[in-house]
């Protein structure tokens, strides 16, 4: 029985409902009248149901797909403007007791180097990230109650926040660790985390159990219900995602939207972010052995549909994807990207990119400076802002501001001020020139004169050496 308000995984992600949805979508994929109604509804910025969005995903009428892309671009600009939030992952440990068949950290992989950062090594990694200019990171660790207990994660968070190096500091720590208890989520909240991120991997229960044959992650319900426990533990912002390529993409897409609908129905707040990773090559992982891989065209369509279906959510794309792919989906809905990422444990403090402990191959290996300049050359504002999190604009408070459009009064000036910090402290001369021109042009686009004048004053003070202004 499908029930989005239920707290049981198999009721809010109903296999039967997904199958009925896919059948309905296939039967109506050329129903132009219905497709036009769905697109018109999406234009109202209220989002789409999983069934409505699945019809658009099944649709292969070229002009309707172009309408979808144009709408996705319009909605993205309406909610997020031309700001792109920057972040980097920080891998703490690759010890793991699970048997995930798509991840090189799985327990049976005996030839991968196992490593866990000491607190001194965490400090060195954070300093390296700060020297690049990063202000926001997401910490990653395998599931291992002996090597990576919650106490270790909490100690690492404390270490990260404590490090002030030159003008650098990490102002927001997001967390991507295994599903855990309400009590542990409460501890993470008390430690000051930003978003709790957990990829479902696949919403197809039978496939999920086959892909996770051993270890605690085998428990489909416990994993799928993790976001409910996180919110019960006080975590305001949660991030969803599937690993595209493990199952049929149409099935995963419907399940992903159903999960977002469930959070809205049961908790009153939908996902703060949705990530869109695709399976990639790694140490002992060959993506060609998975039969459900998707090409770049389908990937772009999925990104556009997530944007129009869940218009308020932040969309994340990592360095798994190439520069060309990232450039395309930035236009269609992505609002957060990683830069200069290393997916190895202890990878940032080494000058050469280590590959012996990588979780996946990194396609976009450019430096942060190169990524920042690339974004600005395309007219985007690279933002290192963490103001909403530190000002308590999280959960339903953030969503109300975002959906009303009032968030622009904070986000635009905050993006410009954090970009200014980056330019002053870390950018190459070429990047700095491009950035100064961009800031001057974007200042005139701040709608409220009072806010613009305050922002100008703060920008001048940043040039004088003062840091960390925020609206």
Residue 115 contacts residue 345 (beta carbons within 8 Å): yes
Query: How far is 175 from 172, CA to CA, in rounded Å?
Result: 10
Structure tokens at 208: 């999920």
316: which strand partners? 275, 336
Query: How far is 234 from 139, CA to CA, in rounded Å?
Result: 19
How many other CB atoms sit within 10 Å of the CB of residue 465?
9
Query: How far is 471 from 395, CA to CA, in rounded Å?
Result: 18
Residue 397 contacts residue 338 (beta carbons within 8 Å): no
Structure tokens at 110: 């005996």
What mean pLDDT is predicted for residues 322-337? 96
**Buried b vs exposed e over 303-334: b needs ≥16 C-beta within 10 Å?**
bbbbbbbbbbbbbbbbbbbeeebbebbbbbbb
Confidence (pLDDT) at 124 = 97
Helix (H, G, I), strand (E, B) or coil at 90: strand
Confidence (pLDDT) at 358 = 66
Residue 321 contacts residue 332 (beta carbons within 8 Å): no
Query: How far is 119 from 126, CA to CA, in rounded Å?
Result: 10
Query: How far is 413 from 419, CA to CA, in rounded Å?
Result: 10
What's the Cα-to-Cα distance from 177 to each of 147, 180, 217, 243, 263, rounded to whole Å? 13, 8, 11, 15, 19
Q: Tell me the domain boundaries of the chain.
A: 14-76, 80-365, 405-463
**What is the CATH T-level fold of the domain 80-365, as seen in this structure?**
TIM Barrel (3.20.20)
Q: Which residue has the higher pLDDT, 400 or 78?
A: 78
Confidence (pLDDT) at 355 = 62
Task: Work out the percent of the chain whose per-residue pLDDT is above 90.
Answer: 85
| Of the candidate ranges 29-43, 77-91, 236-250, 349-363, the one whose mean pLDDT is the lowest | 349-363
Confidence (pLDDT) at 177 = 98
- Residue 131: Cβ-neighbour burial (10 angstroms; 0-12, 13-18, 19+): middle
Confidence (pLDDT) at 399 = 85
Please tell me what DSSP assigns to residue 444.
T
Query: How far is 440 from 455, CA to CA, in rounded Å?
Result: 11
Query: How far is 118 from 121, CA to CA, in rounded Å?
Result: 5
Residue 89 contacts residue 343 (beta carbons within 8 Å): yes
Structure tokens at 350: 């080494």
Confidence (pLDDT) at 145 = 97
Query: How far is 80 from 75, CA to CA, in rounded Å?
Result: 8
Confidence (pLDDT) at 285 = 78
Question: Does the structure show a pLDDT above 90 at 242?
Answer: yes
Question: Does the structure show a pLDDT above 70 at 390?
Answer: yes
Confidence (pLDDT) at 287 = 81
Read off the pLDDT band of 128 (50, 70, 90): very high
Query: How far is 351 from 128, CA to CA, in rounded Å?
Result: 10
CA-wise closest residue to 199 among 249, 235, 172, 238: 238
Structure tokens at 10: 């198999």
Q: Which residue has the higher pLDDT, 194 or 399?
A: 194
**113-316-269 Cα angle (round to 5):** 115
Residue 56 contacts residue 257 (beta carbons within 8 Å): no
Helix (H, G, I), strand (E, B) or coil at 356: coil
Question: Does the structure show a pLDDT above 70 at 63?
Answer: yes
Handedness of CA 73, 79, 84, 90 (dihedral sign): negative
Query: How far is 381 from 404, CA to CA, in rounded Å?
Result: 22
Confidence (pLDDT) at 283 = 73
- Residue 138: Cβ-neighbour burial (10 angstroms; 0-12, 13-18, 19+): buried
Read off the pLDDT band of 231 (50, 70, 90): very high
pTM for this model (two decimals):
0.95
**pLDDT tens track for 141-173:** 999 999 999 999 999 999 999 999 999 999 999
Phi, psi of 421 (to 5 degrees): -60, -45
Residue 143 contacts residue 98 (beta carbons within 8 Å): yes
Confidence (pLDDT) at 353 = 66
**Contacts of residue 47, Cβ cutoff 8 Å, sequence gap at least 6:** 308, 309, 310, 311, 312
| Of the candidate ranges 18-22, 259-263, 356-360, the one whose mean pLDDT is the lowest | 356-360
């Amino acid at each position: 029985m499908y029930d989005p308000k239920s707290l049981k995984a198999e009721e809010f992600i109903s296999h039967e409902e997904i199958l009925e949805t896919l059948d309905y979508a296939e039967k109506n994929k050329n129903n132009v009248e219905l497709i036009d109604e769905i697109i018109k509804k999406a234009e109202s910025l209220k989002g789409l149901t999983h069934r409505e969005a699945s019809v658009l995903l099944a649709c292969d009428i070229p002009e309707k797909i172009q309408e979808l892309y144009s709408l996705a671009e319009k909605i993205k600009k309406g909610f997020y403007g031309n700001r792109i939030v920057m972040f980097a992952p920080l891998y703490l440990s690759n010890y793991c007791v699970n048997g995930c068949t798509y991840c090189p950290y799985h327990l049976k992989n005996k030839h991968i180097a196992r490593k866990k950062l000491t607190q001194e090594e965490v400090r060195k990694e954070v300093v390296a990230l700060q020297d690049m200019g990063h202000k926001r990171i997401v910490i990653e660790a395998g599931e291992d109650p002996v090597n990576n207990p919650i106490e270790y994660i909490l100690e690492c968070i404390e270490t990260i926040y404590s490090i002030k190096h030159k003008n650098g500091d990490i102002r927001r720590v997001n967390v991507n660790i295994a599903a855990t208890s309400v009590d542990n989520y409460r501890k993470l909240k008390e430690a000051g985390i930003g978003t709790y991120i957990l990829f479902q991997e696949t919403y197809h229960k039978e496939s999920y159990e086959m892909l996770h044959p051993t270890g605690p992650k085998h428990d489909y319900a416990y994993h799928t219900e993790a976001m409910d426990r996180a919110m019960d533990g006080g975590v305001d912002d949660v991030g969803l995602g599937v690993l595209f390529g493990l199952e049929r993409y149409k099935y995963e897409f419907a399940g992903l939207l159903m999960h977002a609908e469930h959070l809205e129905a049961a908790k009153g707040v939908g996902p703060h972010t949705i990530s869109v990773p695709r399976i990639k090559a790694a140490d002992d992982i060959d993506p060609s052995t998975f039969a459900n891989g998707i090409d770049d065209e389908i990937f772009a369509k999925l990104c556009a549909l997530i944007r129009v279906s869940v218009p308020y959510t932040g969309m994340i794309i990592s360095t798994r994807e190439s520069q060309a792919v990232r450039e395309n989906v930035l236009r269609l809905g992505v609002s957060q990207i990683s830069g200069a990422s290393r997916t190895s444990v202890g990878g940032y403090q080494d000058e050469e990119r280590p590959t012996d402990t990588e979780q996946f191959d990194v396609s976009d290996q450019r430096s942060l400076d190169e990524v920042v300049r690339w974004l600005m050359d395309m007219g985007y504002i690279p933002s290192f802002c963490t103001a909403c999190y530190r000002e308590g604009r999280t959960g339903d408070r953030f969503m109300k501001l975002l959906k009303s459009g009032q968030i622009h009064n904070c986000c635009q000036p905050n993006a410009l001020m954090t970009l200014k910090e980056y330019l002053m402290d870390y950018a190459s001369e070429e990047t700095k020139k491009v950035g100064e021109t961009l800031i001057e042009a974007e200042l005139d686009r701040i709608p409220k004169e009072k806010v613009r004048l305050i922002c100008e004053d703060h920008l001048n003070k940043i040039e004088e050496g003062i840091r960390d202004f925020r609206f």
